[in-house]
Amino acid sequence: MPDEASRPPPALPPETAAAPPAAPVTAASEPGLPAARLETPKRSSRRPLVGAAKAIFGWPRGHWPAPTVTVLLATAVVVVGAVELLPRAISDVTLSVRARTEVLEIDLDPLRTYVWWLPGGSYSLLTAKAGAGCELRDRFDVVCPYADPTALTIKNGATVRFEVAPPEATGGALHFNAAIMPRARAAAPQASSGGLTPTVAAAAVKQPEPSAFEVRGAADEPLLETHDLVTFESGPVDLWRIPLILRRVQVGESLSESVSTDSLGPVRQPIMTEGDVRIYARGLGSQDRYEIQQERFDPADVVQIPADPADSGLLLGVLSLDRSDRRHAFDVTMHTALAEVFVRRLGAGHRNAGSMWSIVSQLPTWAALWVVWVSLIVVANYHAARLQQLQGEHHVESKPA
């Protein structure tokens, strides 16, 4: 850069002005003054850029890579911004949801076979094969009461809705209802979007096997078999629990202002009463898992996992109902490697996923990095001030008496 050397230096910031004594600033600048007057407009337009580069990097006067305060601060800003772009997978994020809820809807994994023991109660079906002790009350209305516990086998997936019966309807005893809805059939026009696209129709046709439900007694004797909607109303329950292995869950239900009472009798809208989500991560390169974020849910919130219905993952947990806690609500706990929940509130909704900031900021190495960084800024600032002082003294000495 010979021409750069011949040009007058722009006003240097304190840290860049702190040049080594071998290259005195005044000596280089004075012969360059006439040349500056003859500069073309193009060159003069480049000067602010050069000035900015010098201010930031101390370049090209040989200061680089000596860190300046500006460089350190700029790098810190870039690092802070870039942390959020790191993929969450590197920290192995998981979340746990606990909730007290009067209603719960789950999608079962179609590749698993579920066997749930249900307490004594009454099954109601639209259609049924066999059906010992069943009564056909009307078209699409078969009722099968069983006093003893029964085993319900579910194959090829289903959507199940559990709801605690209101205590006023059961004389204070603890009862619950379950509605087991088969997966959509191939023949049925689909579903997820407004238009009936050929792709969606083809996807529906590829659906493997229709859902199958089977009820057996305590001695493993077959009682019922159906492919259609099954509803169940339990008798009084003391303690009941089942493991949950799911594809999707919705805890709670939105309150509706459009429900009338004409045919359903007294309307009680079940809700989630309380709950929270805790998000965990693993330290980079470490086996330790630590909590990075927590959110408490409000009554009547609706929690959906996965947050995006298109996502796929597995949720594991426990669903239980205990008369002794006197809350008339299910106790549900679930764990998943899906890193995001969607919380729907009346009139709004939000997603909650552990941010990379919350993950990284709790690492000890991250704290150490910041200590080093701040120390560097302090040291750089000290040296800049000191060199500026030296430069000032040099100016005074070099002035002719």
Partner 1 sequence: MATLCNSPLRSLFGVSLILCTVSIGTAHAQGRAAVPRLAPVGSPVEIVDTSERISGNATTGLVFIQPSDKIGYDRLWAYLSEPVSPKLKLKISSIDGRYYAEVEYATNPAQPGWTALDLSLHEFKFLEQNYKDPMSEIAALLGDADGPRFYPVRWASSHDAAAAAPDPPKDTDPLRVYMNTERATAFVVVKGSPTYCRDASAVSGFKFNAICDMTLADVRNAELEGGRHVVDAIEVFRRSGVRTLAPVTVDVKIKY
**Residue 257 beta carbon to partner 1: minimum distance, rounded to whole angstroms:** 5
**Residue 370 beta carbon to partner 1: minimum distance, rounded to whole angstroms:** 43
Q: Is the dihedral of CA 14, 15, 18, 19 positive or negative?
A: negative
HEC readout, the chain: CHHHHHCCCCCCCHHHHCCCCCCCHHHHHHHHHHHHHCCCHHHHHHHHHHHHHHHHHCCCCCCCCCCCHHHHHHHHHHHHHHHCCCCHHHHCCEEEEEEEECEEEEEECCCCCEEEEECCEEEEECCCEECCCCEEEECCEEEEEECCCEEEEEECCEEEEEEECCHHHCCCCCCEEEEEEECCCCCCCCCCCCCCCHHHHHHHHHCCCCCEEEEECCCCCEEEEECCCEEEEECCCCEEEEEEEEEEEEECCCCCCCCCCCCCCCCCCCCEEEEEEEEEEECCCCCCEEEEEEEEECCCCEEEECCCCCCCCCEEEEEEEEHHHCCCCEEEEEEECCCEEEEEECCEEEEEECCHHHHHCCCHHHHHHHHHHHHHHHHHHHHHHHHHHHHHHHHHHHCCC
Give the residue among 107, 152, 111, 95 at the shortest CA–CA distance from 333. 95
**Residue 324 beta carbon to partner 1: minimum distance, rounded to whole angstroms:** 25
Nearer to partner 1, 114 or 162 (CB): 162
**Residue 234 beta carbon to partner 1: minimum distance, rounded to whole angstroms:** 10
Contacting residue, 1, 38, 187, 372, with partner 1 by CB under 8 A:
187
**Residue 321 beta carbon to partner 1: minimum distance, rounded to whole angstroms:** 16
Contacting residue, 80, 239, 259, 316, with partner 1 by CB under 8 A:
259
Residue 40 sits in the site that holds partner 1 (CB under 8 A):
no
Rounded to the nearest 5 degrees, what angle is found at the Cα of 364, between the Cα atoms of 362 and 370?
Answer: 90
Stretch that binds partner 1, among 79-87, 227-235, 279-287, 372-380 (CB under 8 A): 227-235
Nearer to partner 1, 46 or 345 (CB): 345
Q: Is the dihedral of CA 169, 170, 175, 181 positive or negative?
A: negative
**Residue 120 beta carbon to partner 1: minimum distance, rounded to whole angstroms:** 14
**Do residues 321 and 241 make contact, with C-beta atoms less than 8 angstroms apart?**
yes
Nearer to partner 1, 262 or 288 (CB): 262
Contacting residue, 233, 298, 322, 331, with partner 1 by CB under 8 A:
233
**Residue 195 beta carbon to partner 1: minimum distance, rounded to whole angstroms:** 5
Range 132-171, binding partner 1 (CB under 8 A)? 137-138, 140-141, 143, 163
**Residue 150 beta carbon to partner 1: minimum distance, rounded to whole angstroms:** 14
Contacting residue, 40, 206, 260, 296, with partner 1 by CB under 8 A:
260
Nearer to partner 1, 195 or 285 (CB): 195
Cα separation, 309 vs 306, whole angstroms: 6
The interface mask with partner 1, positions 312-351, x = CB under 8 A, is --------------------------------x-xx----
Contacting residue, 82, 115, 191, 316, with partner 1 by CB under 8 A:
191
**Residue 369 beta carbon to partner 1: minimum distance, rounded to whole angstroms:** 43
Stretch that binds partner 1, among 229-237, 240-248, 318-326, 392-400 (CB under 8 A): 229-237
Residue 266 sits in the site that holds partner 1 (CB under 8 A):
no
The interface mask with partner 1, positions 96-135, x = CB under 8 A, is --------------------------xxx-xx--------
Nearer to partner 1, 201 or 387 (CB): 201
Cα separation, 150 vs 119, whole angstroms: 7
Range 47-86, binding partner 1 (CB under 8 A)? none
**Residue 193 beta carbon to partner 1: minimum distance, rounded to whole angstroms:** 6
Cα separation, 315 vs 95, whole angstroms: 10
Residues in contact with partner 1 by the rule CB under 8 A = 122-124, 126-127, 137-138, 140-141, 143, 163, 177, 179, 181-182, 184-185, 187-191, 193-198, 228-229, 231-233, 254-260, 262-264, 267, 302, 344, 346-347
